[in-house]
Amino acid sequence: MSSRRWWIGAAVLLAAAAPPASAEQGSGAITDLQLDRSRQPERVEGIGGVEQNLFRDGRVYIGGQPSQAALAALRELGITAVVNLRTPPEMDDRQRVPYDEAAAVADLGMEYIAIPLGGAEHPYTPQAVDRLAKALADHPGPVLVHCTIGWRASYLWVAYLIREQGFALPDALARGEAIAITPDPLEGLLGRTLTVRFADEARPGGAPQSSDSPR
């Protein structure tokens, strides 16, 4: 399995445990993120010290590992909370992260929220989406969500958009692809576009495929 399909599978698992939010849930059910659904996430220029790239989708900033100087610059943009998806062993490795991020965030007057994802000790579960949803609901201002280079952050963001903001899977995935989700190598090798869908969705022209169907 390619890394992209594995990550997409993780995002779908994150999103699948609860039905998507919808307008019918009533006022206040969906956290206002100032999203413009007609536009894809925008690259943020002028902030150095972020691994790979930094993007903004509504009031949520998504990217890779920030340096200590980058955190200070992000604070100037109004960031009130930093959600870190990296695991404790990653953050304790001073070759990878040469400073104490939690302490630096606190010193800048922002809240530090750890939602570690990766490895057997920190699996991809719907609880991660729950925690991100709570963080975004609790902080009405700009929030940074980061991992190493934005992959994990992009997939968690996709899962959140599906489950909490009512996005269709293709639309949410397109936003993740605009940030850090890369094309599946099979698409290039076969010269064909792959389509991702939930396993329990109806197949085109027929009923959902059962576990007893031929494969």
What is the per-residue pLDDT for 76?
A: 96
Q: Which residue is it, tokens 């280079």?
A: 149
Would you say residue 116 has pLDDT above 80?
A: yes
**Could you give the CA distance from residue 140 to residue 185 in angstroms, rounded to a whole number?**
38
Point out which residues pair with 14 in neighbouring strands: none
21-35, 136-150, 151-165: which range is least confident on average? 21-35
For the chain, the domains span 41-182
Q: By C-alpha distance, which of 176, 158, 179 is closest to 52?
A: 179
What is the per-residue pLDDT for 156?
A: 98
What is the per-residue pLDDT for 9?
A: 57
Point out which residues pair with 54 in neighbouring strands: 63
DSSP letter at 164?
H
107-111, 161-165, 194-198: which range is least confident on average? 194-198
φ, ψ for residue 165, nearest 5 deg: -115, 0
CATH architecture of the domain with residue range 41-182: Alpha-Beta Complex (3.90)
pLDDT tens for 93-107 read: 999 999 999 999 999
DSSP letter at 186?
H
pLDDT tens for 53-73 read: 999 999 999 999 999 999 999
Higher-confidence residue of 179 and 21: namely 179
Would you say residue 204 has pLDDT above 70?
A: no
The total number of residues shown for the chain amounts to 215
Would you say residue 12 has pLDDT above 60?
A: no
pLDDT band at 26, cuts 50/70/90? very low
Residue 94: partners with Cβ closer than 8 Å, 6 or more residues away: none
Which pTM value belongs to this model?
A: 0.83
